Amino acid sequence: MDRIIFHIDVNSAFLSWESAYRIHHLGGTLDLRDIPSAIGGDVAMRHGIILAKSIPAKPYGIKTGMTIVEARQKCPKLYLAPPNYSLYQRCSNAFLSILREYTPDTEVYSIDESFLDMTTTVHLFGEPVEVAHMIKDRIRNELGFTVNVGISSNKLLAKMASEFRKPDLVHTLFPEEIETKMWPLPVSELFFCGRATTKKLLNMGINTISDLAHTDIELLKSHLKKQGEIMWAFANGLDFSSVVSETPAQKGYGNSTTTPYDVTDIETAQKVLLALCETVAARLRKDNFQAQVISLGIKSFDLKYNSHQMIMKNPTNITIELYHYSCRLFAELWDKHTPIRHLAVHTTSLLPGKALRQMDLFDITDYARLETVDKTIDSIRFRYGNDAVKRAIFANTFNTKRRLIDHMEGGVSREKRTVDYSELKVV
């Protein structure tokens, strides 16, 4: 049986979800999807980039990842809305709930897109194109936002199909349609073909996906190594990966944060590291893991990134112990002069449950007590919120008007987790 794969992608997800929420729940009348608009972070907090844009913003040259300053220069009347990740997660869950009614073989590819293997279930609902329209229309009518659906016999072609003309459309791209629908496209539009690879291909005189598909694979491998072989296969519509409905096993836990100002002293840097270790350790404990390896990353004011890692003496998920090792790595990595813009703490080599601890005659730390304290703090925060307990060093380092250093840094920053719509003018 030929496989039937759907790729379903929310159109301008963050912006669509924000617009639908304002219209259906806040009584707004302005649809952000119909005007030049975008979702953008807080420039003052150095999160000032475009996270999502409307289709009418595209002709102005507005792109995801562009700074807000640059976007404003291109489109002075660009409407900006703040990010609201708690809303996005609720919308994503509702989106996935509908998809799973049609097949259990649903792979969450990102917060706003999924692959569906409809091979064994599509006949229960109708023909593939008919079913795709059914799903698309249900999402629009029940949830208030639109999606594109790509249909093919493999994941690559289904994803390419969903990227064709938007919004609210269904497209097919079966192998027999590659020559007419995919090959004429610029090589930059091929999935997995990033800017660096595109530049190399253009320098080789490869301008379209058709050019790439008909290029000698050995020539591509000589210029791009393994990447060249992958690009050639994709250009010819070859992809044998399966839809994976089970979430892959966790391989590591980490968090990072962009500081609201350049950090130039070790005391502030260590405070940020403690805040990062607080969240990383809490996640390890929540999933009942201990980590054996810890790594530290530093991005300087000029966006240069360096990292360092080490094997810890014992596997652990104790906050203070992770903090101790991260400070050691920081002392070895930082030159004490270069201003710091971004810090990251990551742990790997995970062990489930509680590993045995190697005893040390010269270490008098009461690790059992530290574990008990951490678990108690976790339970209080779970019941009353993360701010119910914080370390004294973080007293008065955070307020709602000007964010300095949160006592639990990393992941989705606090100002992006929710939005106070009472302070916004929703029209």
pLDDT at 11: 94
SS (H, E, C) the chain: CCCCEEEEEECCHHHHHHHHHHHHHCCCCCCHHHCCEEEECCHHHCCCEEEEECHHHHHHCCCCCCEHHHHHHHCCCCEEECCCHHHHHHHHHHHHHHHCCCCCCEEEEECCEEEEECCCCHHHCCCHHHHHHHHHHHHHHHHCCCEEEEEECCHHHHHHHHCCCCCCCEEECCHHHHHHHCCCCEHHHCCCCCHHHHHHHHHCCCCEHHHHHCCCHHHHHHHHCHHHHHHHHHHCCCCCCCCCCCCCCCCEEEEEEEEEEEECCHHHHHHHHHHHHHHHHHHHHHCCEEEEEEEEEEEECCCCEEEEEEEEEEEECCHHHHHHHHHHHHHHHCCCCCCEEEEEEEEEEEEECCCCCCCCCCCCCCHHHHHHHHHHHHHHHHHHCHHHCCCHHHCCCECCCCECCCCCCCCCCHHHHCCCHHHCCCC
pLDDT at 413: 62
pLDDT at 416: 64
pLDDT at 425: 79
Checking if the pLDDT of 46 tops 60, the result is: no
Verify whether residue 113 is a known catalytic residue. yes
**301-334, pLDDT tens digit by residue?**
888 999 999 999 999 999 999 999 999 999 999 9
**117-162, pLDDT tens digit by residue?**
999 999 999 999 999 999 999 999 999 999 999 999 999 999 999 9
Q: What pLDDT band is residue 399 in, cutting at 50, 70 and 90?
A: very low
SS (H, E, C) 195-240: HHHHHHHHHCCCCEHHHHHCCCHHHHHHHHCHHHHHHHHHHCCCCC
pLDDT at 401: 39
Q: What pLDDT band is residue 402 in, cutting at 50, 70 and 90?
A: very low
Q: Write out the two tokens for 229.
A: 């072989």
Q: Give dist(CA 131, CA 344) in Å, integer.
A: 44
Contacts 24+ apart (CB under 8 A), 238-241: 238/154, 238/156, 239/154, 239/155, 239/156, 239/157, 240/154, 241/154, 241/155, 241/156
List, in order of start, the domains of the chain with CATH numbers: 1-177 (3.30.70.270), 183-235 (1.10.150.20), 252-416 (3.30.1490.100)
- 279 compared with 421, residue with greater pLDDT: 279
Nearest CA among 54, 71, 41 for reference residue 13: 54
**95-109, pLDDT tens digit by residue?**
999 999 999 999 999
- 294 compared with 399, residue with greater pLDDT: 294
Checking if the pLDDT of 297 tops 90, the result is: yes
pLDDT at 1: 59
Q: Give dist(CA 403, CA 24) in Å, integer.
A: 31
**332-388, pLDDT tens digit by residue?**
999 988 999 999 999 999 999 988 888 887 888 899 999 999 999 999 999 998 889
pLDDT at 151: 98
Average pLDDT over all residues of the chain: 91
- 148 compared with 69, residue with greater pLDDT: 148
Q: At residue 304, what is the residue type? A: K
pLDDT at 147: 97
Q: What pLDDT band is residue 423 in, cutting at 50, 70 and 90?
A: confident
- 90 compared with 387, residue with greater pLDDT: 90
Share of the chain above pLDDT 90, in %: 75
pLDDT at 294: 97
Q: What pLDDT band is residue 164 in, cutting at 50, 70 and 90?
A: very high
Mean pLDDT of the 41-56 span: 76
Q: Which of 11-15, 340-344, 348-352, 412-416 has the lowest mean pLDDT?
A: 412-416
Catalytic residue among 70, 101, 107, 113: 113
Checking if the pLDDT of 273 tops 80, the result is: yes
